């Protein structure tokens, strides 16, 4: 009788262990992220003027390097994997890289930009620079961890967790499209340089692969034509709207980009068979949010929460969120709405924490991914 109970107990332990293993088979020890403002957790304000209140008001209670009132999709992703929020590689104060690092920069692009931030409006931390930073991070962190040790072993990743076991996330390309549209290009002109963007992105991923990276989670780009700033800057292209008020023309570029991106990821699967690639359809998640906003508790998805000017979008490009401007002796300020959780658009360019959380829940289970694997199983996308 005692032997039978012991056998039953051992079997139960094996079953439970298998369930735990099946539930989270990848066990990613770290995330390394590359992208733009939709996933930047502090690089941009470490280089340029820091974001001011009311940014960060919802979750952090203060500006926290994010272009939002709170957390971003990448924050929810890290949390779901049991990892800490990613510190920006360029943030020297209080950073902890034990479970990864974030190389994304607000205003970041796939292609390098001509001119400085002040002349172009875009960050010099393009994707190739982010990849260089990643290479530097690997080399320096391994050396410091092994040769200096001490406090650094508490804030740097263990060398064995550094490259091959980590998840690599890419969320970039929106600014490359916006750059063309805001330079008065047509959709056809924007589409003409998308193949070059794909070559550069593929090259960046190839570099990470050559360094040992094997698990890639690649976001497509969102609904540019549903963002108030794009609608305000290109009223000519915003003239033709769909049923929810988004610009048909301004959404054509992202759809073209996303189709080419999916093809690029498919080619990378063939070229790099030892890697696992997951293509994630953020565009559909974001459009679903826009189209269902009022049904699921949001207000007008095209109206800015933190802005100034009223009107259709409550957006004024000269008086942004947290900005004070004196006009004819009167101070005008881009203020936050009372309850950001009811808004989709935070500042006309970026989304609210509530919107990012909705998008996270749309993509985390793999329903919008190719192959349809959940985030925690992204390592199993190999060969699919």
Q: Which residue has the tokens 């980590």?
A: 166
Q: What DSSP state is assigned to residue 114?
A: S
Our answer to whether residue 318 is catalytic in this structure is no
Enter the tokens of residue 35: 């992208």
Residues 67, 80: contact at Cβ < 8 Å? Answer: no
Cα 353 to Cα 69: distance, rounded to the nearest angstrom: 6
Q: Which of 36, 37, 69, 105 is catalytic?
A: 37
Q: Which residues pair with 321 in a beta bridge?
A: 334
Cα 355 to Cα 285: distance, rounded to the nearest angstrom: 10
Enter the tokens of residue 153: 């072993």
Cα 296 to Cα 275: distance, rounded to the nearest angstrom: 38
The alpha carbon of residue 381 and the mean position of all alpha carbons in its chain are separated, in whole angstroms, by: 20
Question: 146, 124, 52, 135: which is closest to 89 by C-alpha?
Answer: 135
Q: Please, how many CA atoms are within 13 Å of residue 38, restricted to the half-sphere of its CB?
A: 30
Opening angle at CA 73, ends 258 and 343, nearest 5? 95
Question: Strand, coil or helix: what is 35?
Answer: strand
Residues 345, 351: contact at Cβ < 8 Å? Answer: yes
Our answer to whether residue 37 is catalytic in this structure is yes
Any alpha helices (H) in 272-352, and if so which ranges?
282-292
Cα 281 to Cα 258: distance, rounded to the nearest angstrom: 8
Residues 293, 232: contact at Cβ < 8 Å? Answer: no
Opening angle at CA 71, ends 65 and 75, nearest 5? 95
What is the end-to-end Cα distance of the chain in Å, rounded?
A: 48
Q: Which of 75, 141, 347, 369 is catalytic?
A: 347
Our answer to whether residue 347 is catalytic in this structure is yes
Residues 163, 212: contact at Cβ < 8 Å? Answer: yes
Q: Please, how many CA atoms are within 13 Å of residue 124, restricted to the half-sphere of its CB?
A: 7
The neighbour count for residue 146, using CB atoms within 10 Å, is 12
Catalytic residues: 37, 347, 350
């Amino acid at each position: 009788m005692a032997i039978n109970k012991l056998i039953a107990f051992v079997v139960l332990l094996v079953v439970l262990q298998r369930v735990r293993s099946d539930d989270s088979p990848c066990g990613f020890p770290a995330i390394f992220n590359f992208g733009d403002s939709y996933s930047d957790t502090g690089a941009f304000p470490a280089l340029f003027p820091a974001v001011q209140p009311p940014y960060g008001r919802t979750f952090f209670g203060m500006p926290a390097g994010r272009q939002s009132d709170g957390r971003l999709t990448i924050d929810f992703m890290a949390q779901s994997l049991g990892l800490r929020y990613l510190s920006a590689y360029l943030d020297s104060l209080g950073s902890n890289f034990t479970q990864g690092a974030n190389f994304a920069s607000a205003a970041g692009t796939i292609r390098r930009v001509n001119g400085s931030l002040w002349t172009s409006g875009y960050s010099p931390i393009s994707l190739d620079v982010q990849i260089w930073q990643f290479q530097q991070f690997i080399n320096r962190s391994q050396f410091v961890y092994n040769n200096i040790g001490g406090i650094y072993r508490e804030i740097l990743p263990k060398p064995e967790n550094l490259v091959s076991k980590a998840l690599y996330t890419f969320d970039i390309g929106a600014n490359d499209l916006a750059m063309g549209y805001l330079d008065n290009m047509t959709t056809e002109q924007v589409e003409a340089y998308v193949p070059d963007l794909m070559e550069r992105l593929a090259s960046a991923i190839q570099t990470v692969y050559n360094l040992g990276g094997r698990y890639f989670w690649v976001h497509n780009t969102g609904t540019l034509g549903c963002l108030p700033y794009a609608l305000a800057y290109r009223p000519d292209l915003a003239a033709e709207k769909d049923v929810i008020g988004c610009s048909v023309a301004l959404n054509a570029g992202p759809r073209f980009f996303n189709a080419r991106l999916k093809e690029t990821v498919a080619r990378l699967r063939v070229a790099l068979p030892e890697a696992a690639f997951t293509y994630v359809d953020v565009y559909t998640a974001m459009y679903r949010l826009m189209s269902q906003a009022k049904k699921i508790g949001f207000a007008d998805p095209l109206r800015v929460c933190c802005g100034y000017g009223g009107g259709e979008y409550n957006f004024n490009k000269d008086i942004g969120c947290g900005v004070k401007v004196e006009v004819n002796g009167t101070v005008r300020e881009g203020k936050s709405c009372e309850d950001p959780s009811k808004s989709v658009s935070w500042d006309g360019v970026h989304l609210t924490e509530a919107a990012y959380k909705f998008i996270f829940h749309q993509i985390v289970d793999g329903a919008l991914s190719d192959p349809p694997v959940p985030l925690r199983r992204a390592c199993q996308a190999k060969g699919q």
